Amino acid sequence: MNMAKRVEAVDVTAYYGSFKAIDSITMTIEPKSVTALIGPSGCGKSTFLRSINRMHEVTPGAKVQGKLMIDAEDIYDPRVDVTAVRRAIGMVFQRPNPFPTMSIYDNVVAGLRLNGVRKKSTLDDAAESSLRAAHLWGEVSDRLKRPGGGLSGGQQQRLCIARAIAVEPQVLLMDEPCSALDPISTLAIEDLIGELKDRYTVVIVTHNMQQAARVSDRTAFFSIESTGDPGRLVEFDDTTKIFQNPGEKKTEDYITGRFG
């Protein structure tokens, strides 16, 4: 079953109360690719990422304007069920956040259970295949009933990835998934991202430019004029182009470390 989908943002503007955090972001993210969002801190990378699965509006007072199409369906259409959107788009957060009271197994199948899957064999299969895809199976297969909170940080993050992909999402969003991890776990997750793009549309926020260069096919550079201004998309192109021959002076300054 393969359902990777195209993400198309058209003039996406997002607010926290009256504060405009990102302004008119327009970009198209192709299916089965890895797209990196880079830029200085506070430029709205997380905000844009969270507007792709409508998690932005979870913050009180936050709202999104513009259109966000997942394969031609506007997810901000009032008739769209927000929970259906989130079920179709997986998310991995900056800090690993497995459900602390649940076992490893229950964490992985949590999304399936929310979808109403009760059959044990289906859950077992999904748990195994997701944990294998997340490169965690070998380490936890003998202790699936133990709490997820007992794993190391890197293992917890892979558990969260397994939980996100267990429901076979169309798009996978990752917000600095390695920023709280040690270098070895980081490498493991970067390898994993390379494999995930065979099946999913992956969007990853990172403040680590080497990481963006290593894992992504396309890179979007976001920036702000000065604090208090909304974040804007400066340049969006193939990763090799962004890093070797950027079209914008601002991008070049950021890549070469003269800014940010």
Partner 1 sequence: MSESPMPTKVGPDPTVHSGPTLGGGAALPRAGRGLERLFRWFSTGAGVLVLVVIVAIAAFLITQAIPALRANQANFFTSTKWLPNDVAHPRFGIAALAYGTVLSAAIALVIAVPVALGIALFLSHYAPRRIATGLGFVIDLLAAVPSVIFGLWGRDYLSGPVTDLSGWLHRYLGFIPLFGSGGPYGNSILLGSIVLAIMVLPITTALCRDVFVQTPKANEEAALALGATRWEMIRTAVLPYGRPGIVAAVMLGLGRALGETIALAMTLGATFGVSIDLIQVGGNSIAANIANGFGEANATGRGALIASGLLLFAITLIVNVAARAIIFRRREFVGGQS
Ligand X SMILES: Nc1ncnc2c1ncn2[C@@H]1O[C@H](COP(=O)(O)OP(=O)(O)O)[C@@H](O)[C@H]1O
Q: Does 47 bind Mg ion (CB under 5 A)?
A: no
Does position 219 interact with ligand X (CB under 6 A)? The reply is: no
What is the rounded CA–CA span in Å between residue 2 and residue 45?
A: 27
> CB–CB of 26/233 below 8 Å?
yes
> In angstroms, how far is CA 48 from the centroid of its own chain?
10
Q: Which region among 38-46, 102-110, 135-143, 155-163 touches ligand X (by CB under 6 A)?
A: 38-46
CA nearest neighbour of 190 among 200, 204, 180: 204
Residue 249 interacting entry, from partner 1, ligand X, Mg ion, none, C-beta within 5 to 8 Å by type? none
Q: CB 230 → partner 1: shortest distance, Å? A: 23
Which one of 46, 186, 206, 219 is in contact with Mg ion (CB under 5 A)? 46
Task: Check residue 2 for interaction with partner 1 (CB under 8 A).
Answer: no
Q: Which position among 31, 44, 90, 111 is part of the footprint of ligand X (CB under 6 A)? A: 44
Q: State which of residues 28, 100, 210, 245 lies at the interface with partner 1 (CB under 8 A).
A: 100
Q: From residue 212, how far is each of 8, 10, 161 by CA, in Å?
A: 21, 24, 18
Name the segment binding ligand X (CB under 6 A); options: 25-33, 39-47, 79-87, 164-172.
Answer: 39-47
Closest CA to 234 of 33, 43, 42, 8: 43
How far is Cα 138 from Cα 256, in angstroms, rounded to an integer? Answer: 40
Cα–Cα distance for residue pair 148/155, rounded to 1 Å: 9
Q: Could you tell me which of 121, 111, 108, 113 has the C-alpha nearest to residue 148?
A: 108
Site for partner 1 in 192-231 (CB under 8 A): none
The listed partner (partner 1, ligand X, Mg ion, none) that binds 87, CB under 5 to 8 Å by sort, is: partner 1
Considering the rule CB under 5 A, would residue 219 count as an interface residue with Mg ion?
no
Residue from 46, 53, 157, 186 binding partner 1 (CB under 8 A): 53
Quick one: tokens of 187?
């490498």
Q: What is the CA 128 to chain-centroid distance, rounded?
A: 22
Tokens of 40: 């200085």
Binding pattern to partner 1, positions 101-130, x when CB under 8 A? Answer: xx-------xx--xx---------------
Name which position in 41, 79, 118, 198 contacts ligand X (CB under 6 A): 41
Q: Which stretch binds ligand X (CB under 6 A): 40-48, 98-106, 118-126, 178-186?
A: 40-48
Residues 6+ apart with CB under 8 A from 46: 94, 175, 176, 205
Name the 3-class secondary structure at 175. strand
Binding site for partner 1 (CB under 8 A): 53, 55, 58, 83-88, 90-91, 93, 95, 97-102, 110-111, 114-115, 146-147, 149-150, 160, 163-164, 167
Chain residues in the site for ligand X (CB under 6 A): 16, 19, 21, 41-47, 59, 231
